[in-house]
Structure formats: structure tokens, C-alpha cells
Homo-oligomer: A and B are copies of this chain.
Amino acid sequence: MARRTKAEAEQTREQILDAAESVFLERGVARASLEEIAQAAGVTRGAVYWHFRNKADLFDAMYGRVHLPMQDLFDQVVGLEEGNAIEALRTFCVQSLRCLASNARRQRVYTILFHRCEFVDGLQESNERLIAIRDRWLARMEDLLRREQTRGRLPAEVCPRLAAITIHTAMIGIYFDYLRSPHAYELDAQAFPLIDLVFRALS
């Protein structure tokens, strides 16, 4: 059995990505073998190497499946001109946490990113891409905050760049801590009060 139709091939590709998520999660990226992933997907390593060059390529594709939509949403929120942008940013942060709490795939993928992978050797480039994304986030948030400051929506004594770093690191910290022990949180309920407390610093 080989040479499936294009649609079937795309389906096995998705199956492999699903399997990679689950195997990376329980075994860690480094200790996960492509053989395990193939078995979990119901195929052989041949199929994996057909769809992906190696483990790093598979990793990138897996993380891209959830990160690209999120980044689009962020760009959309930050880009809008009218209205209270800080409020929009705050809402985005709350929604981001709520989405994390309710979306199992996002939980798995970000748990892998924060707690199940070592960014060395093969994943070095992935890491540099993540850093580049972070820099764009920071720059856009800083612009937003500086703009709002001129409109009197951010206290004059607050440095826009430091505020952007604070919000960014606060989100990172919550993601990290929540994904390390999700049972310690009720994130869906605590998302709003948590972000509310963080944003108290900006008022």
C-alpha cells in the first residue's frame, strides 16, 4: 500500500504531526525517536522522512500549526488604530490565557516549547526564530504603549519599553508556571484577575 491520493497524503502528514505532539510531550523532544512517532501515527519512519527532512523540521511544522494563528491575532489587535489600545491589549492577554486553558493542542505544544525541548544543535534555528518573534512583539508593544502615552492613557512616569518588557515577561511567566503544573491553576477563571493585577502597574 503506497502512493495514496494527495488528500490522503496530507492526512497522514497531519497524523504524523499529531503523533509528534503526543510523543514530544511525554518523552521530550530529544529523547523522542522518529520510530516512536511513526508508530504512534500508524506509519513507518519512511513516511516521516518523506514528509519532513528530520526531527527539527518536524518540530518546526508542529509548532507552526499553533503559533502562526496566534501571531496573526496579535498583529491584528496591535494594528488597530482607533479605540483604547491598552484595553485591547489587555483583552488580548486575557483571551490568550483563556485559549490556552481550553485548547488542548495549544497546551501540548506550548508545554513542549517551555518544558520539553532543548534549544541546541538542530533546534538552534528554531530558537533564533522564536527570539525574532519576541523582538517583534516587544517592538510593536512598545510603539503601542508610547502612542497611548501621548494620549494620556499611560502614566508619564512609566517607561514604555520597560512596560512592554513587563507585560511580555509576565505572560511568559504565567505560561511557564501554568504549563509546569496546570492542576495548581484554574486558569480560565483566573485569567482576568491575573491580567488585571498585572495591568494595575500601568495605571
> A74 to nearest B CB, angstroms?
17
A197 CB–B CB distance under 8 Å? yes
Tell whether A188 is near chain B: CB-to-CB under 8 Å: no
Which of A57-65, A85-93, A100-108, A112-120 lies at the binding interface?
A112-120
Are A118 and B30 touching (Cβ within 8 A)?
A: yes
**Chain B neighbourhood of A116, CB < 8 A:** 118-120
B120 touches A28 (CB 8 A): yes
| Interface residue stretch chosen among A2-10, A13-21, A165-173 | A165-173
A76 at the interface (CB under 8 A from B): no
A29 within 8 A of partner (CB): yes
CB distance from A116 to the nearest CB of B (A): 5
Is A78 close to B, CB under 8 A? no
Size band of the interface chain A makes with B: 35 or more
Residue of B nearest to A120 (CB): B28
CB distance from A167 to the nearest CB of B (A): 10
Q: Which residues of B contact A135 (CB under 8 A)?
A: 184
Partner of A28, one of B118, B166, B168, B201: B118
**A positions within 8 Å CB-CB of B:** 26-31, 115-121, 127, 131, 134-135, 158-159, 162-163, 165-166, 168-174, 176-177, 180-181, 184, 190, 193-194, 197-202
10 interchain residue pairs of minimum CB distance:
A173-B173, A28-B118, A30-B30, A169-B173, A200-B201, A172-B173, A201-B201, A28-B120, A169-B174, A169-B177
